[in-house]
Amino acid sequence: MSEGVFVLKGFDNNCGKNQDSNDDSNGTRLGKCLLPPYFDNFHQKILDASVREDDIWLVSFPRTGSTWCQEMIWLIRNNLDFETAQTTIQQLRAPLIESSIVLFEYIDSIPIKDDMTIPRFSRMNLPLDLLPSPLQKEKSKLASLFTDSVSFVEDLPSPRCVKSHLPLELLPEEILKKKPKMIYTMRNPKDLCISYYFHCQMIHKIYVEFDIFCDWFLNGLLPIGSIFDHYFSFWNKRDDLNILIINYEDMKIDTKETVKRIASFMERSLSDEDVDNICEFLSFQNMRDNKACNLQILVDNRQGNDFYNKSGIHFIRKGIVGDYINYMSPEMIEKFDKWIEKNTRGTDLKF
């Protein structure tokens, strides 16, 4: 393997106990969460990070509606401050605690067994010198976020909104003691896979055939790893009073009711007009157009100017429930259905 090129590694909640994701003679992925090997430098720091009782944590597997839900949470927490929600990017208002390790891109794939391959990546940096003028004033904050995101989060004033795509066992250990309010978003794995396919093109430049991507997804070989390991880390604690689980499908079917549920969970009072204003602000088209949360500025910084229009790929993509049927063959749908049934057998988790 050439210098700087790596396969993702499986991390659990024991620092140092991680393995290459293809390093298992039985073909079983070791570790629960696949991350770049340099997560070693942040693993303990995240576990040791301070947690405050008035924090609001949003945790999710990527592409489960977390950006949408995060805006709901932030607006409710910040008294419907629509102006700031349009002028300050979400990554600074509700930072991802692991932001320091998320910038890496696909290089190639290598065989590991039979017809299975595994992706390899290389680390990359956000070219801050190329930031457009609207973000120049935030340059130092972004540099801090992507250099040491744990310290960035710890330096935020209370009350904080914090986000993560890590499973529960990799989050700060104080979470179990301080019990801050935590919201976890879930989504049907078939729709999630479609959304993640385009997300990984945009963020990690994983341009591979769709069937190959699906196989990597089913085998937990993509960034973050197994969706069901992630889901069950929170699903098994769904009765804890400080945890609220929100389904993407419910957000789509009844956005108003979702806003009310989140507000009630956060112990914040909203009038009917407040709820209507939040829903209007967070409509699909408004979210798509809002550069403070549609990631356009940062994506253009990496992919080139006007990437969304030129590529047809958008961070706020479609927002359609059941869109998988437009991409998956009947054979692939059957494969996914069997995989979902196998991984949820004996549980009450249903999609």
* Spans of the chain, pLDDT less than 50: 1-2, 15-31
- Closest C-alpha among 188, 226, 174 to residue 53: 174
Q: What is the pLDDT of residue 39?
A: 95
Helix or strand or coil: residue 336?
A: helix
Are the C-beta atoms of 7 and 120 separated by less than 8 Å? yes
Q: What is the pLDDT of residue 19?
A: 42
Instruction: Give the integer Cα–Cα distance in Å for 235 and 102.
Output: 25
Contacts of 37 by beta carbon, 8 Å cutoff, 6+ apart: 6, 8, 9
Full-model pTM: 0.89
**Domains in the chain and their CATH numbers?**
49-344 (3.40.50.300)
Q: What is the pLDDT of residue 130?
A: 62
Total residues found in the chain within this entry: 351
Q: What is the pLDDT of residue 304?
A: 62
Instruction: Give the integer Cα–Cα distance in Å for 101 and 19.
Output: 17
Contacts of 324 by beta carbon, 8 Å cutoff, 6+ apart: 188, 190, 191, 193, 194, 333, 336
- List the structure tokens of 335: 């494969």
**Residue 14: φ, ψ to 5°:** -110, 105
**Residue 181: φ, ψ to 5°:** -70, 135
Instruction: Give the integer Cα–Cα distance in Å for 221 and 103.
Output: 17
CA 172 to chain centre: 17
- Closest C-alpha among 100, 90, 104 to residue 152: 100
